[in-house]
């Protein structure tokens, strides 16, 4: 049934260059926490909290208040409403204070942990950390995001740097498959730069003489790139590949599933395929061809879990790991994710 | 060398004693909490105060924002039963009761839709006795619930109950029973409760694909519409089990400490919903923990 895959891929090749999405609505908490650059000083944190409270008040006044008052025009119920509103505001204030201290505590914890887990580009240290674990995942995925150009580690450079760091850690940990997801597909668009950057990092980790072989695959376009030109035609060298990286974006999520549906309906309409041929197994194999295998562990390097449209079919039993209030692509998230994974047991259905 | 020393120093001398202390305290708390709570609850006054508090809290959150669609993965019933040396059935019963009380609170708060993962298709791999117990328990609860949803003196009055999932795994007797209950409650329109029984999210997506293709072919065969209309994500979402709530789930709660979705709500949560993982077992997951999550959700 690779006919279906071919057809979908053909469609992908023909479609126009997609524009980069600028804004995306994430879950509320991570939306706010990512904007925190503005609220750096304590005064501004307090200001932000009051802002949130005030805006909450305005919302309440415009929508809910009208509804409520039109329903029950009694004066007493209006006072009750005001009373509840005030209590709610106080609750938010207390929550804000609590959240502020929690934030500071988490930051402190992360700082100490990053002292403990500091590999300084040494594969041996990473190896040592990983050898202590009783199982490691076969495939891992990581969600990366491009920070704004003004930030430290922001812009395209920062993203490429983060991606290559994660790749180097994965190689050192001895994991063979890595999926890198970024919402806009920036990594896909800059594959050539990415490969240069990976080479630089590999040299730093393993020395210029023994850069390991790797491949970078873009499932959406079905293209594969290799660390050097020679491997492309050399079958033996392909076996020595230590890591295969695949680059995903939002395009591989819901849209690919709908593409698949569309293609199958066309095939069914032209009688090349029967309706009864569509089974769960078929769809699973097709999506595995189109996107990749399901990862065992998904790492997110943001402040609170935000899946950002990661392909839905592929997170069935995936373990998620993120550090609350962390905003850097740091080794401690990576190694602690592996530690968490090694301790969890998966029993499907039982 | 320095790295090693630092590692040892920090882990063994700083974190471990602290962690140990923390663990002992939480263990003590968990051990005695139930005794303390049940001792307190035997006084009617305290029960009354608690219910008053509950309704006060509900009225307070009502004036703010609440999520439209809350979803629960009810995990940990069996472990709960084991921790009290009770048969597994009791654990599931406790879980069912807890779900009902939370659903009631959600309804009061103004949440439009609650969905719960009652039984996964994979759960058929469990021992036949347990599957049997679960099925009978489910059937009992179903009738119970329907009776409550049409009784206007009951707090759950006006709830529309929908059972979603792959019915091909169920006996025809059961399916008929489900249809009857759904028909009974179909007039409630201010609040919908989806119970996922036997459900997995991949199965949901698969069904949606299948039905969309099926519909398309039928359209072509009967020449009702021109074939130019392409399939869009929005239509695709709407053809899933949760009707208009299929697109997004605002808040997903998973109990008992696993950080994964276990084939539930993949399509609904992978974009912009808040997923909360908590360590407490499902029957222990109380109103106040849920309330805390909702405050957190609406704060941001």
- Residues B53-94: tens digit of each pLDDT: 888 898 888 888 889 999 999 988 888 888 888 888 888 888
Query: Residue A93 sits in which domain range?
Result: 66-117
Each residue of A23-43: pLDDT tens digit?
A: 667 777 777 777 655 445 566
Q: Do A265 and B61 touch (CB under 8 A)?
A: no
Q: Do A269 and B227 touch (CB under 8 A)?
A: yes
CATH number, domain containing residue A229: 3.40.1180.10
Reply yes or no on whether the pLDDT at A62 is more than 60.
no
Instruction: Check whether residue A113 and residue A225 sit in a common domain.
Output: no
Check residue A138 and give its pLDDT: 92
Residue B64 CA to residue A65 CA, distance in Å, equals 10
Over its length of 300 residues, how does chain B's per-residue pLDDT go in tens digits? 566 666 666 666 655 566 667 777 777 776 676 677 777 766 777 778 888 888 889 888 888 888 999 999 998 888 888 888 888 888 888 898 899 889 989 998 889 999 999 888 888 888 888 888 888 888 888 888 888 888 888 888 888 888 988 888 888 888 998 898 888 888 877 889 999 988 888 998 998 888 888 888 887 777 655 555 677 788 788 888 888 888 888 999 999 888 888 888 888 888 888 999 998 888 888 888 999 999 988 887
- Put simply, the chain B residues between 100 and 139 with a CB less than 8 A from any chain A CB are 120-126
**Is A210 a domain residue?**
yes
What percent of chain A has pLDDT above 90? 27
Check residue A140 and give its pLDDT: 93
Check residue A5 and give its pLDDT: 79
B214 part of contact set with chain A, CB < 8 Å: yes
Instruction: Check whether residue A245 and residue A137 sit in a common domain.
Output: yes
Shortest CA gap A235–chain B (Å): 36
Check residue A55 and give its pLDDT: 52
- Among the partner-chain residues A56, A115, A280, the one whose CB lies closest to the CB of B202 is A280
Check residue B116 and give its pLDDT: 92
Set B98, B123, B143, B190: catalytic member? B123
Shortest CA gap A280–chain B (Å): 6
Instruction: Check whether residue A105 and residue A132 sit in a common domain.
Output: no
DSSP secondary structure letters along B41-76? HTSHHHHHHHHHHHHHHHHHHHTS---SEEEEE---
Give which of A99, A88, A108 is closest to A45, Cα–Cα: A99
Instruction: Check whether residue A71 and residue A126 sit in a common domain.
Output: no
| Interface probe, candidates A62, A91, A145, A250, chain B, greatest B C-beta count within 10 A | A91
Closest alpha carbon within chain B to A304:
B274
Check residue A57 and give its pLDDT: 47
**Is A3 a domain residue?**
no
Residues written for chain A: 350
Q: Are B111 and B72 in contact (CB under 8 A)?
A: no
Closest alpha carbon within chain B to A77:
B59
Among residues A85, A117, A149, the one where a domain terminates is A117
**Is B50 a domain residue?**
yes
Active site residue B284: no
Residue partners of B216: CB distance under 8 A and separation at least 6: A265, A268, A269, B227, B231
**Is B23 a domain residue?**
yes
- Among the partner-chain residues A56, A60, A350, the one whose CB lies closest to the CB of B125 is A350
- Among the partner-chain residues A29, A264, A318, the one whose CB lies closest to the CB of B296 is A29
Instruction: Check whether residue A109 and residue A149 sit in a common domain.
Output: no
Residue ranges of the alpha helices (H) in A207-311? 229-233, 235-239, 254-269, 280-290
pLDDT tier at A160 (50, 70, 90 boundaries)? Answer: very high
Set B19, B23, B34, B75: catalytic member? B75
Closest alpha carbon within chain A to B58:
A84
**Chain B partners within 8 Å of A132 (Cβ):** none
Check residue A299 and give its pLDDT: 93
- Among the partner-chain residues A27, A118, A316, the one whose CB lies closest to the CB of B202 is A316
- Among the partner-chain residues B6, B125, B236, the one whose CB lies closest to the CB of A258 is B236
Mean pLDDT over A194-222 rounds to 89
Check residue A106 and give its pLDDT: 92
The helices-and-strands tally (H runs, E runs) of chain B is 11, 6
Mean pLDDT score of chain A, rounded to an integer?
Answer: 82
**Is A35 a domain residue?**
no
Q: Are A295 and A248 in contact (CB under 8 A)?
A: no
Q: Do A91 and B60 touch (CB under 8 A)?
A: yes
Shortest CA gap B224–chain A (Å): 14
**Is A50 a domain residue?**
no
**Chain B partners within 8 Å of A52 (Cβ):** 299-300
Residue A211 or A151, more confident: A211
Give which of B258, B160, B242, B142 is closest to B201, Cα–Cα: B242
Residue B122 CA to residue B262 CA, distance in Å, equals 10
Closest alpha carbon within chain A to B130:
A350
| Interface probe, candidates A68, A84, A113, A320, chain B, greatest B C-beta count within 10 A | A84
Residue A217 CA to residue A235 CA, distance in Å, equals 17
Instruction: Check whether residue A327 and residue A190 sit in a common domain.
Output: yes
Burial of A183 (0-12, 13-18, 19+ CB in 10 A): buried
Instruction: Check whether residue A138 and residue A286 sit in a common domain.
Output: yes
Instruction: Check whether residue A112 and residue A126 sit in a common domain.
Output: no
* Cβ neighbours around B21 below 10 Å, total: 10
Residue B114 CA to residue B103 CA, distance in Å, equals 7
**Chain A partners within 8 Å of B300 (Cβ):** 28-29, 31-33, 52
Task: Label the pairing between strands A177-181 and B191-196.
Answer: unpaired
Q: How many domains are contained in chain A?
A: 2
Instruction: Check whether residue A307 and residue A337 sit in a common domain.
Output: yes
Active site residue B259: no
- Put simply, the chain B residues between 221 and 280 with a CB less than 8 A from any chain A CB are 227, 230-233, 236, 258-263, 266-267, 269-275
Shortest CA gap B7–chain A (Å): 5
**Is A27 a domain residue?**
no
Check residue A60 and give its pLDDT: 43
pLDDT tier at A181 (50, 70, 90 boundaries)? Answer: very high
Shortest CA gap A19–chain B (Å): 18
Instruction: Check whether residue A259 and residue A154 sit in a common domain.
Output: yes
Check residue B87 and give its pLDDT: 87
Flag whether the pTM goes above 0.90: no
Shortest CA gap A301–chain B (Å): 15
Residue partners of A207: CB distance under 8 A and separation at least 6: none
Query: Residue B40 sits in which domain range?
Result: 1-61
Q: How many domains are contained in chain B?
A: 1
Each residue of A249-306: pLDDT tens digit?
A: 988 888 888 888 888 888 888 888 888 888 889 999 989 988 989 999 999 998 888 8
Q: What is the distance between the terminal CA atoms of chain B, rounded to a whole angstrom?
A: 44
**Is B21 a domain residue?**
yes
Instruction: Check whether residue A74 and residue A138 sit in a common domain.
Output: no
Instruction: Check whether residue A79 and residue A205 sit in a common domain.
Output: no
């Amino acid at each position: 049934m690779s006919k279906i895959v071919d057809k979908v891929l053909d469609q992908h090749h023909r479609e126009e260059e997609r524009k980069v999405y600028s804004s995306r609505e994430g879950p509320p908490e991570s939306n706010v926490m990512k904007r925190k650059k503005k609220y750096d000083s304590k005064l501004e944190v307090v200001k932000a909290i009051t802002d949130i409270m005030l805006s909450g008040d305005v919302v309440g006044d415009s929508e809910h208040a009208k509804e409520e008052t039109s329903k029950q025009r009694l004066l007493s119920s209006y006072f009750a409403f005001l009373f509840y509103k005030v209590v709610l505001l106080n609750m938010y204030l207390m929550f804000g204070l609590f959240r502020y201290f929690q934030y500071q505590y988490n930051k402190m914890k992360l700082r100490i942990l990053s002292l403990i887990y500091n590999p300084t580009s040494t594969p041996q240290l990473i190896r040592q950390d990983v050898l202590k674990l009783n199982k490691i995942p076969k495939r891992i995925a990581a969600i990366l995001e491009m920070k704004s150009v003004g930030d430290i580690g922001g812009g395209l450079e920062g993203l490429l740097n983060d991606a290559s760091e994660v790749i180097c850690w994965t190689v050192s940990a001895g994991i063979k498959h890595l999926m890198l997801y970024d919402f806009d597909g920036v990594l896909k668009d800059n594959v050539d730069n990415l490969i240069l950057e990976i080479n630089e990092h590999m040299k730093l980790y393993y020395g210029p003489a023994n850069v390991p072989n790797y491949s970078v695959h873009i499932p959406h376009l079905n293209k594969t790139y290799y660390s050097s030109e020679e491997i492309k035609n050399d079958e033996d060298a392909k076996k020595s590949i230590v890591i295969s990286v695949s680059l995903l974006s939002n395009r591989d999520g819901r849209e690919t599933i709908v593409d698949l549906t569309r293609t199958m309906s066309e095939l069914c309409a032209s009688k090349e395929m029967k309706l009864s041929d569509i089974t769960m197994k078929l769809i699973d194999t097709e999506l595995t061809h189109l996107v990749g295998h399901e990862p065992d562990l998904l790492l997110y390097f943001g402040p609170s879990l935000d899946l950002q449209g990661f392909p839905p079919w592929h997170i069935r039993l995936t373990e998620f790991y993120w550090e609350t209030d962390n905003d850097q692509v740091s080794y401690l998230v990576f190694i602690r994710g592996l530690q968490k994974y090694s301790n969890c047991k998966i029993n499907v259905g039982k | 060398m320095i790295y090693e020393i630092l590692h040892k120093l920090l882990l063994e001398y700083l974190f471990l004693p602290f962690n140990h202390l923390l663990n002992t305290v939480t263990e003590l708390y968990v051990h005695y909490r139930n005794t303390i709570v049940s001792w307190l609850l035997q006084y009617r006054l305290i029960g009354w105060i608690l219910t008053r508090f509950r309704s006060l809290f509900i009225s307070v959150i009502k004036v703010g924002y609440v999520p439209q669609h809350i979803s629960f993965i009810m995990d940990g019933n069996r472990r709960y039963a084991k921790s009290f040396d009770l048969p597994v059935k009791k654990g599931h019963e406790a879980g069912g009761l807890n779900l009902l009380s939370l659903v009631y609170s959600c309804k009061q708060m103004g949440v439009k839709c609650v969905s719960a993962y009652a039984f996964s298709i994979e759960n058929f791999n469990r021992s036949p006795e347990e599957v049997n117990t679960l099925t009978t328990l489910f059937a009992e609860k179903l009738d119970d619930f329907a009776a409550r949803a049409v009784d206007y003196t009951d707090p759950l009055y006006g709830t529309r109950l929908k059972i979603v999932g792959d019915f091909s795994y169920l006996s025809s007797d059961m399916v008929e029973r489900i249809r009857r209950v759904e028909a009974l409650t179909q007039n409630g329109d201010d609040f919908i409760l989806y119970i996922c029984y036997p459900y997995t999210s991949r199965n949901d997506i698969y069904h949606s694909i299948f039905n969309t293709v099926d519909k398309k072919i039928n359209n072509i065969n009967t020449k009702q519409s021109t074939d130019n209309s392409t399939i869009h994500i929005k239509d695709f979402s709407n053809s899933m089990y949760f009707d208009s709530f299929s697109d997004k789930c605002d808040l997903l709660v998973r109990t008992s400490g696993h950080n994964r979705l276990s084939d539930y709500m993949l399509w609904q949560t992978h974009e912009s919903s808040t997923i909360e993982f908590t360590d407490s077992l499902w029957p222990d997951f109380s109103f106040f923990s849920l309330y805390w999550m909702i405050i957190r959700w609406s704060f941001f």
